[in-house]
Copies of this chain bind each other. A is one copy, B any other.
Amino acid sequence: MSTKPRVTSYDVAAAAGVSRTTVSFVLNNAPNQSIPESTRQAVFGAAKLLGYTPSAAAKTLRAGTSHLVLCIAPDWQPSALMDAGLSILTEELRAAGFATVVAKSANNPRSLDILWQTISPAIIVAMFDVADDVRARIDRLRVPLVEAFFHSYGSRHDVDELQIETGRQQAEYVIDRGAQRVTYVAPPVDRDDIDIHTDRLRGVVETLERRGLAAAQVVAISGEGLPSPSDIALITAGHESERLAVCCYNDDIALGVITAARTAGLNVPGDLSVIGVDDLPMCQLVSPTITTVRFDVPGHMKQVAQRIKVALGIDDPSPSIPRSYSSVIRRESA
């Protein structure tokens, strides 16, 4: 329809009656350049009139780098948590003039190859535990990598301190509240989030040992949702003799355990106490309300934003004291 598919700075120059160089100087506030106000206004006027938007591709090519932050996330990742975090990240980085976008399917190498041929990020932020082959592909791009949820780098045996801490908090809480025996309930075994699950479990196990309790019994839900009667028999075994607490992988599992336990005639938290992870809205909407571990996404993400800025060289590395961003929300179930 339009013969000229794109408005370039050349068009603006022609409209303003100056050279393209002058347009560039004006629009970028070039230092050491004296441009009279009349010329400036002419350029601004022409740019606005024509609806000029500089070409991102040309800018990036010329500058050798972009102002783009690329977050990569796997398909399976529960983004309810991610979501609030991304908004905060976007907000923080926008203030520094950077745009933030997210790509899914980032655990798929083929996806990544297409991505690299399509956008040129200044930095890559991984929202998951980066596998070696993915890391190698990123290295080749000569683009820095920041891992949002991991603190240690370099070794393939990285562990997620954040997830371990979550498990620790669950165990500490129930022990402090008098638990004598602890059961851990995991999601069905065929799921993708197995890394997170094992890290949280590790935190529970480690805490039990440190506090001198017997090792936890671990039960994986056998079906998809609600624990079966046999699951519940396993989970609640021994509740008559000792004060029993159930640490659950997340709030959905916790809800399933509570519902199944009540169906089996048990009382929560009387016969057993149950604690989840995530602090989903529904935790406050069921009876009993669910005690859970909440991760402070805004707090953590602000810290991630800081690390990103440092990696981009637009901020100084502040000697921030490492702190835990998760805390127990005490409710009725434990």
Contact = CB atoms under 8 A, between A and B. Distances in A.
Given A56-B116, A60-B57, A94 B105 contact: yes
B142 A114 contact: no
A282 B280 contact: yes
Category for how many chain A residues contact B: 35 or more
A181 B272 CA distance: 41
Interface string A76-112: 0011101100110011001001111111110000110
A140 interface: yes
A40 to B, nearest CB: 20
Q: Which of A6, A94, A282 has most chain B Cβ within 10 Å?
A: A282
A119 interface: yes
A329 to B, nearest CB: 13
A262 interface: yes
Interface stretch (A13-21, A164-172, A284-292, A310-318): A284-292
A101 B79 CA distance: 15
A292 to B, nearest CB: 13
A90 B104 contact: yes
B284 A282 contact: no
Nearest to A227: B285
Contact of A55 (B55, B98, B104, B120): B120
**Copies in the assembly, this chain:** 2
A118 B56 contact: yes
B68 A119 contact: yes
B120 A57 contact: yes
B117 A119 contact: no
Contacts of A101: 70, 101-103, 115, 119
A27 to B, nearest CB: 11
B118 A225 contact: no
Interface stretch (A149-157, A205-213, A231-239, A251-259): A251-259
A286 B286 contact: yes
Contact of A5 (B142, B225, B281): B142
Nearest to A262: B287
Nearest to A5: B142
A266 to B, nearest CB: 13
Contacts of A99: 103, 111, 114-115, 117-119
B226 A255 contact: no
B79 A105 contact: no
Given A6-B142, A83-B79, A90 B119 contact: no
Contacts of A281: 225, 252
Given A66-B119, A225-B284, 8 more contacts: A56-B117, A57-B66, A60-B118, A75-B90, A94-B110, A99-B111, A119-B119, A255-B286
CB-based closest 9 A-B pairs: A57-B60, A57-B61, A99-B118, A101-B101, A51-B140, A79-B83, A75-B87, A256-B285, A255-B285
14 contacts: A2-B142, A53-B141, A54-B117, A55-B120, A56-B60, A56-B119, A56-B120, A57-B61, A57-B120, A98-B114, A99-B111, A119-B119, A263-B287, A282-B282
